[in-house]
Amino acid sequence: MFDLRDLYQQVIVDHSKSPRNFGQLDDCNHQADGYNPLCGDKLHIYLRINDENIIEDVSFEGEGCAISVASASLMTDALKGKSVSESQAIFEQFQHMATADLAEAPDEAVLGKLAVLAGVREFPSRIKCATLCWHTLQAAVKDSETPAKTE
Ligand code: FES
């Protein structure tokens, strides 16, 4: 029988093994580091935001678990072409999805493919893995010199 969780799992494995938008963005105009104190994993986000506040390009570097890499890969794919305020709304939905009651379906209209990470809510320690890239993104938008933390 078709199992949506299997499909979600396949997407996560694909993005963790072949991360999209991985590497330095030479013409970025915003960047920041992020850090998960629980495991020590680090991420760096590069952003190019134009004068209309549109995210023209975004990439990431770093090492982390499969969930953190898949989440960063999916996030960067989802944000290209979005405005900074749209990215904030998606982040809020993502944060909500990651901590919502198990019975609550993710808002796929806002989240799109990011909904594959809804399963992390069953594993509290993995929520920070999935949100590390998003906290780092917030820091990059502000050009924060202090690394973003998941704690
Ligand atoms: Fe470090 Fe997931 S175990 S980010």
User: Hey, what domains does the chain have and what are their CATH numbers?
Assistant: 4-144 (3.90.1010.10)
Question: Using a 6 Å cutoff on CB, does residue 64 contact ligand 1?
Answer: yes
Summarize pLDDT for 18-77 with one digit per residue, the tens: 999 999 999 999 999 999 999 999 999 999 999 999 999 999 999 899 999 999 999 999
Query: How many angstroms separate the alpha carbon of residue 41 from the centre of ligand 1?
Result: 6
- Output the pLDDT for position 60: 98
Query: How many angstroms separate the alpha carbon of residue 141 from the centre of ligand 1?
Result: 22
Strand partners, 57: 48
Question: Using a 6 Å cutoff on CB, does residue 66 contact ligand 1?
Answer: no
Q: Determine the Cα–Cα distance for residues 134 and 151; give it in Å rounded to an integer.
A: 13
Query: For a pocket test of ligand 1, which of 33, 127, 128, 134 has the largest count of ligand atoms closer than 8 A to its C-beta?
Result: 128
Summarize pLDDT for 70-125 with one digit per residue, the tens: 999 999 999 999 999 999 999 999 999 999 988 899 999 999 999 999 999 988 88
- Output the pLDDT for position 1: 45
pTM: 0.94
Amino acid occupying residue 54? I
